[in-house]
Structure 1
């Protein structure tokens, strides 16, 4: 990671402890999908998917489920995996975190490499090199410690690899030797297809196995990770089955609600159930906040809801017909964490690159020779790789965390040729970006707003001549489906570069894939060698959705 990045807090956090706590959803805003959570004593650790971003698999710590701190990454070194050549939505899918006898375990899927496990004594790291689990085919593995034994449950192919329909999958289980990190049994099918095979259920995935009283429960997502997403539950007298589904499944979905309802939360699923500070049950899960139809730019986010249990012992996360709530009040004390930055609610954030900040992420890899920090700010050396190429480009970014947000930066850059450019890229996928770039055209410095196209080219939406020789200030305003780009040179008057720009170009609905928008400081020499660089002085962000 960059050793000297800094953040300066522009928000205040109450240090008072109260007998009750109000937690706002999402608890992790922006692109934080596929949550898995583990309680260790009074501490909670949560992990998310990262796909082709580096570092991979962020691990958050909390004591109250409201205030979260990023403490480390399970994939923290370039040598653990190489994501070059991966599309943005390839890489690392759906990790699960577990703890047993002083050691943390993370199992995950690298879609090009297979399923693997890494371990650590401290969630902040260091984490081990990945150990491949070749017997675990498919995706979404989860290690479960039950009755003195360890198991891995996971999504796998249809029986005999002969699907009856598209999306026909199974949930399987194997015994796991957690000391030697080896599978020690043949896989056994626990669920074939889903709750009711006759109705052709699709994409049973994200399984978690846990015990409550005298029953073993298998919780899994069903219906795919978009608007038909749901969470279902099965139960057995034994951890290896046979499992029977609850006749009132699903235990959570929003697919049956009015799509035109105000401020909808959709696509709920991939839940992990756990015991909270008050010894009642809760669930974390992914969901999205669309601004129009199924368009959303913030990606799949992490939400929380209480779990209720029926009289005959079945869990319910969101009762049928009810909406996800944007806030819940619980009866335990708030416990803010020190030296962290906000991850939910409305907040402002400013980095001036003088002290450590582990919130910045990179595309596919981290090249320490590409970056340096000092009194002037963050210096990024231009790389030949362009943003649409499946390489490690000169990109340092942070997640877009609000539907309504403002961003500002100031940077120094003097392009030496027309193939050099630098500025801010709003990145959703290899082909879905907006790029406010400073470059040369006909020997004169200009600022351009570029909209990417599928073939690696782009449309220029706006272009203005610059005087040069002064820092370029850039503002981006996010307002649901519209974007405004503004700029100024030095202390001169701010000018609008482009207004009413279609933000749906950055939505998952348009781009496909599984990620959300990141705001990246970026520079490229576009296939040509270069010794040039760009220096960013600030990275300022303010979000206001609630």
Structure 2
């Protein structure tokens, strides 16, 4: 009996070691438009960053669950910058591919030069300067490498630029020269409108071509990147078509489910399929986690689901209607030494020698206004630029990755000028933010809370409390609890005083603010349009996620 029990325990141990539990999203927070490629036993994944800098993070994994950021594609200001762009403009929908020793990145710089391609020998970088593709008119370009040819496929205008309805788009392709990085020959239209133009489908986009068992598959999103988002599939015997749509499209959507369901995942689409370590197919895609209606502050996030092939067609999340927050797969987990990106987690970011790869600036990186120090941490100059403009303020941010979380920092700053402010932002756009800061009012030291003004470029003062001028160091904390935010400060560690609680968090949601991005916590200092020689130092940034569903 004991021997049988030992055998059973050993078998259970082996089985458990060969099981991996996925927790969705696999990249929590503002990580939209995922694209993934497999090279050997490594996976590399990229996301859109819009007007944030560095642009396009690159993650590496060996199991599709544990991701470590290894670099950023746009990490040099001379590659490109986004000065003058709103926060939801800039870089749209990157795609990563690998072919014969070279990594390729295609993307769209919206409102400017359009589509481009970049290359690297190491996915961590350095990446080349962009090569612009003026013939490729549209958005969301991706590459497909066939046996002897390569193609670039993308979303484009309606035929003859005469849309039959709002949102009427096409999917088109050119043959592509991967050596000289240019298109070849004539443009070919692959899809007009969507899988069934008689139903007036909108915004077919994010296309990827892949080959399986002598079939060419065209996988794309339809319905727009909100609650009607979906994923569709077509196939052909030729890379350039004609493509026949799957009769049971879409292969992924959440739009038909009860919006009142508990802990909903919505807006799923923009998927790419990849072979897992077990040889089975998986899909990475964007989706969102609203806390009420269509309100969410964490932006569009990266999810994963299994894929089953049925009669030669891939079905995403085949056993469930709802996207699962957790599921298991039959292969071994490979953990990495990195900050977790899924489930509940906590971390402390310090600024002793270098900035974490995940930290974000607005529009470009200018090393002249900040410095790093083992004692003081991150020191910023107070400059005239503000977060309400479209320049590069003294602003360093980290994504909000949970519906319920806290972010706090230790601030070393003193001033007697009302225009000089330093503190912590919860920031969604130039007009949609809250700012808890240390400043002065009539020469007295105060802690203030401001709200961005949707009607103008100003700020509205919500709360203010005086503190002793001797309190050079202060601690500032923002707590998010779905639709409510609370703002606190302390002059001694952990002796928190609430400045204002239960502040409207829907003001920060994509539903209210618009655009395509999620909220970020930002260390921010400004002299509010005036010249200043003052500076502020941030010792660390603490973050803790506490979503109920992961407890």
Partner Cα separation in structure 1 for residue 342 and residue 317 of structure 2: 21
Could you list the per-position Cα deviations for residues 266-293 of structure 1 after superposition, in whole angstroms to 9, with x for gaps in the alignment?
0000000111101111100000000000
Aligned to 1:10: none
Report the Cα offset of residue 429 of structure 1: 0.8
Aligned to 2:155: 155
CA contact (8 A) 2:416 2:444 kept: no
Partner Cα separation in structure 1 for residue 449 and residue 419 of structure 2: 15
CA contact (8 A) 1:17 1:335 kept: no
1:141 aligns with 2:141: yes
Report the Cα offset of residue 469 of structure 1: 2.7
Could you list the per-position Cα deviations for residues 85-114 of structure 1 after superposition, in whole angstroms to 9, with x for gaps in the alignment?
000000000000000000000000000221
- Change in Cα spacing, 1:376 to 1:321, as seen in structure 2 (3 Å) is closer
- Change in Cα spacing, 1:332 to 1:319, as seen in structure 2 (3 Å) is closer
Could you list the per-position Cα deviations for residues 504-524 of structure 1 after superposition, in whole angstroms to 9, with x for gaps in the alignment?
011000000000001000001
Q: Which moved more, 1:151-160 or 1:373-382?
A: 373-382
Aligned to 1:120: 120
Cα RMSD of the aligned pairs, angstroms, is 1.3
Partner Cα separation in structure 1 for residue 136 and residue 186 of structure 2: 10
Report the Cα offset of residue 492 of structure 1: 8.3
Q: Which moved more, 1:222-231 or 1:429-438?
A: 429-438
Could you list the per-position Cα deviations for residues 344-397 of structure 1 after superposition, in whole angstroms to 9, with x for gaps in the alignment?
111110022224321211111111011111112110111211111000010001
CA contact (8 A) 1:360 1:398 kept: yes
1:328 aligns with 2:330: no
Aligned to 1:200: 200
Partner Cα separation in structure 2 for residue 386 and residue 408 of structure 1: 21
Aligned to 1:543: 545
Aligned to 1:508: 510
Partner Cα separation in structure 2 for residue 322 and residue 43 of structure 1: 30
Aligned to 1:55: 54
Aligned to 2:300: 300
Aligned to 1:433: 433
Could you list the per-position Cα deviations for residues 193-235 of structure 1 after superposition, in whole angstroms to 9, with x for gaps in the alignment?
0011111100000000000102100000000000000000001
Aligned to 2:72: 73
1 or 2 for the larger relative contact order (CA 8 Å, sep ≥6)?
1
Aligned to 1:468: 469
Report the Cα offset of residue 416 of structure 1: 4.2
Give the unaligned 5+ runs of structure 1: 1-15
Structural mapping, 1:380-419, within 5 Å: 380-419=380-419
Aligned to 1:271: 271
CA contact (8 A) 2:57 2:358 kept: no
Report the Cα offset of residue 532 of structure 1: 0.7
CA contact (8 A) 1:17 1:334 kept: no
Report the Cα offset of residue 18 of structure 1: 1.9
Partner Cα separation in structure 2 for residue 79 and residue 202 of structure 1: 36
DSSP-derived class of the 2:175 partner: strand
Structural mapping, 1:222-371, within 5 Å: 222-310=222-310, 312-319=311-318, 322-338=321-337, 340-356=338-354, 357-371=356-370
Report the Cα offset of residue 530 of structure 1: 1.0
CA contact (8 A) 1:107 1:117 kept: yes
Report the Cα offset of residue 468 of structure 1: 2.3
Report the Cα offset of residue 320 of structure 1: 9.1
DSSP-derived class of the 1:185 partner: strand
Partner Cα separation in structure 1 for residue 309 and residue 504 of structure 2: 45
1:494 aligns with 2:496: yes
Report the Cα offset of residue 337 of structure 1: 1.7
Aligned to 1:521: 523
Partner Cα separation in structure 2 for residue 293 and residue 492 of structure 1: 35
Partner Cα separation in structure 2 for residue 379 and residue 342 of structure 1: 27
- Change in Cα spacing, 1:420 to 1:38, as seen in structure 2 (3 Å) is same
CA contact (8 A) 2:447 2:465 kept: yes
Report the Cα offset of residue 334 of structure 1: 1.1
TM-score by length of 1: 0.95
Report the Cα offset of residue 243 of structure 1: 0.4
CA contact (8 A) 1:252 1:320 kept: no
Aligned to 2:34: 35
Could you list the per-position Cα deviations for residues 213-260 of structure 1 after superposition, in whole angstroms to 9, with x for gaps in the alignment?
021000000000000000000010100000011111000000000000
Could you list the per-position Cα deviations for residues 39-84 of structure 1 after superposition, in whole angstroms to 9, with x for gaps in the alignment?
0010000000000000000000000111111011111101111211
CA contact (8 A) 2:17 2:332 kept: yes
Partner Cα separation in structure 1 for residue 360 and residue 320 of structure 2: 38
Could you list the per-position Cα deviations for residues 171-201 of structure 1 after superposition, in whole angstroms to 9, with x for gaps in the alignment?
0010000000010122111000001111110
Partner Cα separation in structure 1 for residue 296 and residue 493 of structure 2: 35
Partner Cα separation in structure 2 for residue 421 and residue 289 of structure 1: 33
Structural mapping, 1:208-227, within 5 Å: 208-227=208-227
Give the unaligned 5+ runs of structure 2: 1-14
- Change in Cα spacing, 1:469 to 1:315, as seen in structure 2 (3 Å) is same
Partner Cα separation in structure 2 for residue 43 and residue 119 of structure 1: 18
CA contact (8 A) 2:485 2:505 kept: yes
CA contact (8 A) 2:416 2:445 kept: no
